[in-house]
Structure 1
Amino acid sequence: MIRLSFYFIFLQAICLVPIASASDLGDWNKLLNTLPYWPIKSVGSKIPQALIDHWKTFGFQCPASQTGNWSSYPSKWGKNWPQNCDDLDSTMFNGLLCAAGLEEGCNGVRDAQGTKLRLFYRSPRQRWNVENDCLKGNSAFPDPGRNFCTECTSTFSPDMGLGVMLYVIKTQRKEAFHQWIDAIEAVGATTTLCKDGACTPFPWPRLCSADYQCGSKKPTKVLGYTSGFCILTPIKDTPDYELMARYTKKQFGPLMSKAVHAPKQIVDLLAPIPDSVRDGLLPLGLRPNFPLHLEAVRVLLRMMERNPELTLERFPSGSLPGLTDNFADLTSSENPAALNLRARAILNRQAWNPFYQLLANGPAKSTRSSIIDHCPALNDAPLKAETRPAWIWRWETDKKNERPTAMGGGWDCVFVGLLYNKMRVEEDVRKKLLSLLDSLTDPSGQILNRLQSDLGKAVAGLAAAEALAGAATEEVAKARKAALEEKEKRRKELEAEVNKLQNAVADKQREIGNAAAEIARKSLPRCHKYDYPCKELRKRVEKAIGNLQGHHARLVGELQVLQRPHQELHQLTLQIEAWSDKKLQQAEKSALSNLAQAKSAVEALRIQVDRVRATRAKAKEYLKVWNG
């Protein structure tokens, strides 16, 4: 019998780095969740709040409803518009202002959501029109400045949808997104596809209900077909809705699922390239005005997904617990290098644009200078509304003559100024971040080398534990075989005998049953005192019953003889199963336990090696972006 020893040498040789859970990290977790996606190599000074407040005086706000249906909200100014509110792009721009931290912008998006059908509209004022005056038809719009087709059809677009998404992430009003998606799904059930005046049902998500041709407004034809002004465009727009569904944990209905997933599967099949590469190439094919601006908004949306405030949490004191194997898990799944590449591709198309500079270069000194150069100075006085040449959001223009301050509505500067201040990282925090990430890259390879060495020792320990466990199991099997060899031999003999006797036992049981039945059928006649023939008959019957009973008893005895091998076999089986050598079996149990521990140690180290590699790669991504 082999005497077993416990193999713990390999466990003593392994120094496992403790794995800290996210709940243990406290302030570190907050920091890792707010790491910048933008360069922080040369951060400019803060833009004074007094200057941003001055820029607000250049903006126009649609007045609040006198009946309390909406609050005042930022808008363009328009001479021929009701209350001068040229506000049919307001939800988009108010979403941007909300993202930058302007409460009036958040209110503007909030009040643009329907009160019954929870669709969003282009502005709070239009939302009220759709729910009230538009129901009355053309007669409700006698004023040339309030045209039915303008106010009541094509009441939303995918562009506006990005503003809603920014608002939802900033305010965390996820239920507003859920209600909106449900409304889009409901409206989509009535979508039609039309050609040459003939329309057929084509259920597909739509962002507004009244999207039919009206006056001079005609939907765009695609392959000769038209559907409406605000149909959800697959591939171009649907990735944003998929992102928001994940973010808000919204389960899509059948129409939204079809619009989001089916086209993407086709594209993945036809162009099997990573999403990050596809996203980087997309800006190259966009028009350099508002389509390029929308792509920039998508970059901002993805920056906010992990960090809605776009601000960096304070740098905690002490060291990060478990930093080598938690960093990759605790930071965003978004690839910062890929997102920055996307932002740079946008900037390369319009290098003058302060908004694009902020996304691609971060709050650098050069970005600050560009913002100041394109926005009013403190001593600049706002022009009168009616004398201003234009009211545009200049960050979406590609025309050089539309870049001057006089062309803007003030809100574009407020947005980029507030956003710049949010994205700034103070110098002491910046240095600590760079130092932390540099250590996480493990430039000398010390951490990874140590773990790989430990893994080698653990693998050797596992091999030894497997050998010992195998030897212990084999030893138990030999001892068992030796102790039970005679019993096993007799058991096999009895098994063969029992198999042969199976039919005889069954036949004997049938005979016993037949004899018992025959006895039951025999009945003694009842005789009178002097009825001698009857008495003679009774004697014969009694003798026959006695003979049958004797035969039955012999049959039962014979059956018992036949069953003895079976009973002996059963007893032998119990004895074999009950065999025990406590010493050997305990040794085997210990060896198997050691083997399980060795396997766990190897698996834990393999996971740690993978985590350290992932951490190094992730840290390098961030450093590449931060260093510009």
Structure 2
Amino acid sequence: MFKRSLTALAFLFVLILTCFIAGSTEAADSQKVRELNRRFAYWNSASVAPYCTFDGGRKFPSKYHKSDNRDNETGKCDDGDSIMFNALLCSVGEQDGCDAVKRSKTNDGRWWRSPKKARETATEGGSETTFSNDHAVGVMLYALETNNGDELEEWIRYLNKGRLQNIHPAYCKDTRCAFKLFDCPLLDRAAAILARPNFLCGPPYRPSQALAELRRAHEAIEEKYNELPAKEALAPGFKQANELVKKLLDQLSNLSSAIETEAERAATLARAAANLDGTVALLNAHVNDAGFARNNVSVAVYMLMKYGAADGPELRLAASQVAAKEPRNAFLEYVAHGATDKMLDIILEKCRSEADDRKKPQQPRHQWTWERTDQEIAHRETMFWDCVFVAKLYKAGDIRAQYNGLPGVSNAAGELSNQQEKLVARIEEVFDLLNGLVNGDAATDPAKYFGKFAEREFKRKVAEIETKAKKIGKEVATQAKLIERTIRNPRVEDILNPGFNPFPTNPGGPFPRIPIPGQGRILPW
């Protein structure tokens, strides 16, 4: 009886002790969160987090140069990595960050390191290029966070211009900015999520061969007409038919471009579905140097997990390996393990309080702590925006995917190709009429081409062809509206042609062979 009482008392003691420890831990955690909130208000105040002020534009979040005095902002911008840090700030809801990235682009579709450098159109050369491969992820982060497929596609088309001229694509006009093959998986994923074509990573497209041949045939007809001695007699009928041909050729040109865009959109989705981005992230986790290169791995994984509808074992492993190498890095800890108690401890350890700053004012505000190694003690020169960023991550909780999967895949290229064939047939019908005028048939059978009846019959045939062409135009316009619906709302699976799914059940199986209209080649995806 005595032993049972002793056992019961021991159990009760352990239970009370456990509850006490749990309560103490909860109270301690609550206290840490309150301290984080106090510090966050200080870091995010106008007098602490630095901005770059420059002539001709709004200020934007930026580092300061090492030698700068904190009380004077003018001319102190260390904005070399601005687009990356502002994209990360944008991803946690800092609108100043989103605005800074947006204003770092010029009208030609090119992105620069910062709004200041974009306005100044900085020259190439020297120790710093006007853009960097690392910053490309910043552009993708911004486009995904703001759901801005238009600017992403404009950038891709800008990068692809040189490639179409057999010039290696590059982010800037310096050889150090060359686009690399390993950049493709991330760019494919970003473009696919936003339902945009990534021309840069597929076979280079050329203008439709069929369109080129039809234009040459039309030029030959016009040359023959201009050589006819009696062309004035044929003028009314010829001009009517010729104007229709010009209009239909322009329509065919637009349709060919749309087909190529839709074919590449589907090919981009196919490449993204191969999940090569996870493999590249894992490889980089092994080979990237310490410091910013290692941080870039976690930035890519963060982007893929939050926006890329990707959370495979390769990404988790890559994030964990990088975090293990830098165990006192709040951002790496977050990407690898979520908003943990350890992350909170690191933030409070490395991000100064207002009381700390009063004792010894922080100078210079020069570092984004999380891109440096633990040994560099970069937090002693924090720019504070890095602290704002991780604090917002912690308060938001673990990474929550904003996209449920890749958008629905359409058969738009196939549908538009059918309309293209019909349009080509209509153009060839008009050619037949024009050839009859200019190839001598009018001289051998004048009743067929001259006189009121012949003129009315000719016009009737032209009008009939034009009516058929208008019907094709309406069908193309309907398909274009369906395509636009998917582009506007890529977060929702908006399958244009229900039941069409070019992806196999087994992700390791073969990908669809998508034709490139007018070229007789296929994309081997």
TM-score of the two chains, using structure 2 as the length reference:
0.51
Question: Does the residue aligned with 1:71 lie in a helix, a strand or coil?
Answer: strand
Specify the code of the residue in structure 2 equivalent to 1:71: R
Specify the code of the residue in structure 1 equivalent to 2:288: L
Aligned 8 A contact 2:50 2:61 in 1: yes
Correspondent of 2:138 among 138, 163, 180 = 163
Correspondent of 2:318 among 335, 339, 342 = 342
Partner of 2:194: 248
2:405 corresponds to 1:418: no
Cα offset for 1:338? 3.7
Specify the code of the residue in structure 2 equivalent to 1:62: C
Cα offset for 1:390? 6.2
Question: Does the residue aligned with 2:156 lie in a helix, a strand or coil?
Answer: helix
2:9 corresponds to 1:53: no
Q: Report matched runs for 1:318-329 at 5 Å.
A: none
Correspondent of 2:93 among 84, 101, 105 = 101
Structure-2 change in CA distance of 1:383 and 1:88 (3 Å):
farther
Correspondent of 1:302 among 301, 304, 323 = 304
Aligned 8 A contact 2:43 2:388 in 1: yes
Aligned 8 A contact 1:157 1:230 in 2: yes
Correspondent of 1:360 among 320, 336, 354 = 336
Question: Does the residue aligned with 1:368 lie in a helix, a strand or coil?
Answer: helix
Q: Report matched runs for 1:71-82 at 5 Å.
A: 71-78=58-65, 79=67
Cα offset for 1:54? 1.0
Aligned 8 A contact 1:358 1:367 in 2: yes
Partner of 2:282: 280
Cα offset for 1:71? 2.3
Cα deviation digits, residues 36-63 of structure 1 (max 9, x gap)? xxxxxxx966565442121234321012
Cα offset for 1:393? 1.2
Write the distance in 1 (CA, Å) between the matches of 2:112 and 2:369.
Answer: 23
- Backbone CA RMSD of aligned residues: 3.4
Q: Report matched runs for 1:529-568 at 5 Å.
A: none
Cα deviation digits, residues 237-291 of structure 1 (max 9, x gap)? 22111111111122133x44259xxxxxxxxxxxx99864664343122111111
Specify the code of the residue in structure 2 equivalent to 1:289: G
Cα deviation digits, residues 354-401 of structure 1 (max 9, x gap)? 11111112111121111111111242227999x825611111112524
Partner of 2:149: 174
Write the distance in 2 (CA, Å) between the matches of 1:231 and 1:167.
Answer: 21
Specify the code of the residue in structure 1 equivalent to 2:99: N
Specify the code of the residue in structure 2 equivalent to 1:342: A
Structure-2 change in CA distance of 1:378 and 1:424 (3 Å):
farther
Specify the code of the residue in structure 1 equivalent to 2:151: A
Structure-2 change in CA distance of 1:204 and 1:408 (3 Å):
same
Q: Report matched runs for 1:393-408 at 5 Å.
A: 393-398=368-373, 400-403=375-378, 405-408=379-382
Specify the code of the residue in structure 2 equivalent to 1:304: K
Cα deviation digits, residues 44-100 of structure 1 (max 9, x gap)? 66565442121234321012x554xx3221111124897111101100111111112
Specify the code of the residue in structure 2 equivalent to 1:165: M
Partner of 1:205: 169
Aligned 8 A contact 2:306 2:399 in 1: no
Q: For structure 2, which runs of at least 5 residues remain unmatched after alignment?
A: 1-27, 205-273, 401-504, 507-525
2:381 corresponds to 1:379: no
Identity %: 25
Structure-2 change in CA distance of 1:275 and 1:300 (3 Å):
closer
Question: Does the residue aligned with 2:84 lie in a helix, a strand or coil?
Answer: helix
2:111 corresponds to 1:120: yes
Cα offset for 1:340? 2.0
Structure-2 change in CA distance of 1:399 and 1:343 (3 Å):
closer
Q: In terms of Rg, which structure is larger?
A: 1
Structure-2 change in CA distance of 1:424 and 1:233 (3 Å):
closer
Structure-2 change in CA distance of 1:251 and 1:273 (3 Å):
closer
Specify the code of the residue in structure 2 equivalent to 1:109: V
2:181 corresponds to 1:234: yes
Cα offset for 1:158? 1.3
Cα offset for 1:423? 2.2
Aligned 8 A contact 2:63 2:365 in 1: no
Question: Does the residue aligned with 2:307 lie in a helix, a strand or coil?
Answer: helix
Cα offset for 1:108? 0.8
Write the distance in 1 (CA, Å) between the matches of 2:143 and 2:337.
Answer: 26
Aligned 8 A contact 2:52 2:75 in 1: yes
Partner of 2:202: 257
Aligned 8 A contact 1:71 1:111 in 2: no
Aligned 8 A contact 1:189 1:204 in 2: no
Aligned 8 A contact 1:44 1:364 in 2: no
Q: For structure 1, which runs of at least 5 residues remain unmatched after alignment?
A: 1-42, 135-147, 191-201, 212-227, 260-271, 307-331, 427-609, 612-628
Write the distance in 2 (CA, Å) between the matches of 1:149 and 1:276.
Answer: 34
Higher relative contact order (CA 8 A, sep 6+): 1
Structure-2 change in CA distance of 1:289 and 1:357 (3 Å):
same
Aligned 8 A contact 2:328 2:374 in 1: no
Cα deviation digits, residues 453-497 of structure 1 (max 9, x gap)? xxxxxxxxxxxxxxxxxxxxxxxxxxxxxxxxxxxxxxxxxxxxx
Question: Does the residue aligned with 2:290 lie in a helix, a strand or coil?
Answer: coil
Structure-2 change in CA distance of 1:76 and 1:168 (3 Å):
same
Specify the code of the residue in structure 1 equivalent to 2:113: R
Write the distance in 2 (CA, Å) between the matches of 1:87 and 1:383.
Answer: 28
Structure-2 change in CA distance of 1:401 and 1:205 (3 Å):
closer
Cα deviation digits, residues 413-472 of structure 1 (max 9, x gap)? 11111111112599xxxxxxxxxxxxxxxxxxxxxxxxxxxxxxxxxxxxxxxxxxxxxx
Question: Does the residue aligned with 1:380 lie in a helix, a strand or coil?
Answer: helix
Aligned 8 A contact 2:323 2:333 in 1: yes
Structure-2 change in CA distance of 1:384 and 1:248 (3 Å):
farther
Write the distance in 1 (CA, Å) between the matches of 2:203 and 2:356.
Answer: 53
Question: Does the residue aligned with 2:383 lie in a helix, a strand or coil?
Answer: coil
Correspondent of 1:110 among 71, 92, 102 = 102
Question: Does the residue aligned with 2:322 lie in a helix, a strand or coil?
Answer: helix
Cα offset for 1:300? 0.7
Aligned 8 A contact 2:305 2:311 in 1: no
Specify the code of the residue in structure 2 equivalent to 1:229: R
Cα offset for 1:156? 0.8
TM-score of the two chains, using structure 1 as the length reference:
0.43
Structure-2 change in CA distance of 1:275 and 1:77 (3 Å):
closer
